[in-house]
Structure 1
Amino acid sequence: MIELTLIGIGTGNPDHITMQAVRAMNAADLILIPRKGKAKSDLVDLRRDICAQVLNTPVRIVEFDMPVRAAQGDYTQAVHEWHNAIAAVWREQIALHLPDGGRLALLVWGDPSLYDSTLRIAERLSGVTVKVVAGITSIQALTAAHAIALNPLAGSVTITTGRLLRAHGWPNGADTVVVMLDGGCAFEALDPAGIAIWWGAYLGMAQEALEYGPLATVGPVIAARRAELRASHGWIMDVYLMRKEQNDG
């Protein structure tokens, strides 16, 4: 029997690791770390650094090459095939390194419950018991970095993706919209009048970048800075919150 623990590790800052996460990592027999290509090699380094800082027992750490999602064709089908490929790699690593069973841990950016597919991939594994250790999400890191409340007084919050925002516009009835997994700048598809934006990239990391202001004026600044940062680092992870003007009382 394999016990798989999905451990939320926040947004790259070792200070985001909870005591529960530390205990779970040290209780593991094996920690798997994915490699995602040279452009994202510093993400592997961050996981290595976290392990080096919190492990005080001899836990085996194994790195593996992460399958790449097909860029063409139907999006949903491509994601399903990608998840199948990742699950197959996990099975191979489990068979190789835990043939008699044991405790496996995977370190998940943010929290495994929020716009992360690790739980869905784990469902593809038979004979595996799954546990989750909650982590700090990029949304929490964003609101903390800007020192703002997530929701307006008695207001609603909608969490969506850049792809959906670009396709459908501002969600009906939402006072505040948080946008994740935006491969571009989907906010450019909106009428910016009366909208404020709080944006953050590499939250919690040394290269953290923040911008805030009216979407009409700050939107182009974010787009230019985002392109510059992506070119400099080879990758970017960002999230933003937008709020329509309203009376907060």
Structure 2
Amino acid sequence: MDLVLIGIGTGNPDHLTLQAVKALNAVDLILIPEKGEEKADLADLRRAICQDLVTRPGVVVAGFEMPVRDPENPSYLARVNDWHDAIAQAWAATIDANPGASRVALMVWGDPALYDSTLRIAGRLALQRKVNVSVVPGIMSPQVLAAAHRIPLNGLGAPFLVTTGRRLREEGWPSGADRLVVMLDGACAFQHLPPEGVTIWWGAYVGMPNEITEAGPLAEAGPRILARRQAARAEHGWLMDIYILERKSPAA
């Protein structure tokens, strides 16, 4: 069986590359994760992409119920590993329900290479059956955020570091970089940082029609971001956001 993981950008169908469109039209089965009513928009968007861009007759689009992580397990890594096992089983069950499919695709938000576990889950599936995995890269959310704010990701001749909200919250500002790209931060770790000398560029639903952005000194922009996040989640039922932090170098 061939399994192709297709990066689809941050939700805008225009983000799909020609390679991604060709890959969608070359498979027999496209798997769509379904995450309940609150996140039905995410499945609907994937289905809309298929409806608009898949033109080859016979391609089957099949949804599967996305497992949820066990909140009772105190170990973060154990929770994630158990969750990935359950997702691989859900993939396998959906594939087995479509026995004529020898080429299967999954559409991945952004790119499978950056803070996404689809490749790891594919590895679990490969332990159960012979699977040839290929990847079609997609536009990453840090690129779209930087474009929305019209800024480069890095300072002049300087590095930037990509991290998660959990690590920022638990470990503080990492050493070695004065500019951070922070992903997967449902708890707004930026509000626990000393705000002096820190600038934030934030965006939610970046690249989509309902994109919202904020930027400025953290002390001023932080409260605005918290309020806009709350309002957006109440309106849409789900929220995907990302932000860039920059602090003045101690040597500056």
TM class, shorter-chain normalised? Answer: over 0.9
Pair 1:194 & 2:197 matched:
yes
Measured after TM superposition, the shift of residue 94 of structure 1 is: 1.6
In the alignment, which of 178, 182, 190 is matched to residue 179 of structure 1? 182
Pair 1:39 & 2:42 matched:
no
Query: C-alpha distance in 2, partners of 1:82/1:123?
Result: 14
Partner of residue 229, structure 2: 226
Partner of residue 18, structure 2: 19
TM-score (structure 1 length as normaliser): 0.96
In the alignment, which of 144, 152, 168 is matched to residue 171 of structure 2? 168
Partner of residue 61, structure 1: 61
Pair 1:121 & 2:121 matched:
yes
Measured after TM superposition, the shift of residue 125 of structure 1 is: 1.5
**Structure 1: which 5+ residue stretches go unaligned?**
none
Query: C-alpha distance in 1, partners of 2:164/2:138?
Result: 20
Pair 1:79 & 2:80 matched:
yes
Measured after TM superposition, the shift of residue 101 of structure 1 is: 5.4
Partner of residue 94, structure 1: 95
Partner of residue 213, structure 2: 210
SS at match of 1:86: helix
Partner of residue 112, structure 1: 112
Query: C-alpha distance in 2, partners of 1:154/1:52?
Result: 44
Query: C-alpha distance in 2, partners of 1:222/1:120?
Result: 33
Query: C-alpha distance in 2, partners of 1:57/1:177?
Result: 42
What letter corresponds to residue 143 of structure 2 in structure 1? Q
Hey, which bits of structure 1, 4+ residues long, moved more than 3 A? none
What letter corresponds to residue 165 of structure 1 in structure 2? L
Partner of residue 158, structure 1: 161
What letter corresponds to residue 166 of structure 1 in structure 2? R
SS at match of 2:103: strand
Query: C-alpha distance in 1, partners of 2:64/2:101?
Result: 19
Query: C-alpha distance in 2, partners of 1:71/1:232?
Result: 25
Identity of aligned residues (%): 57
Measured after TM superposition, the shift of residue 185 of structure 1 is: 0.8
Query: C-alpha distance in 2, partners of 1:86/1:45?
Result: 19
**Structure 2: which 5+ residue stretches go unaligned?**
none
Say whether the 8 Å CA contact 2:205–2:240 is kept in structure 1. Answer: yes
Q: Give a deviation string over 1:180-239, Cα, whole Å, max 9, x none.
A: 000121001111111110000011112110000000110111011111111111110000
Pair 1:239 & 2:250 matched:
no
Query: C-alpha distance in 1, partners of 2:72/2:108?
Result: 26
What letter corresponds to residue 11 of structure 1 in structure 2? T
Measured after TM superposition, the shift of residue 29 of structure 1 is: 0.6
Measured after TM superposition, the shift of residue 71 of structure 1 is: 2.0
Say whether the 8 Å CA contact 2:29–2:101 is kept in structure 1. Answer: no
> What value does the CA root-mean-square deviation take over the aligned residues?
1.4
User: Number of aligned pairs?
Assistant: 246
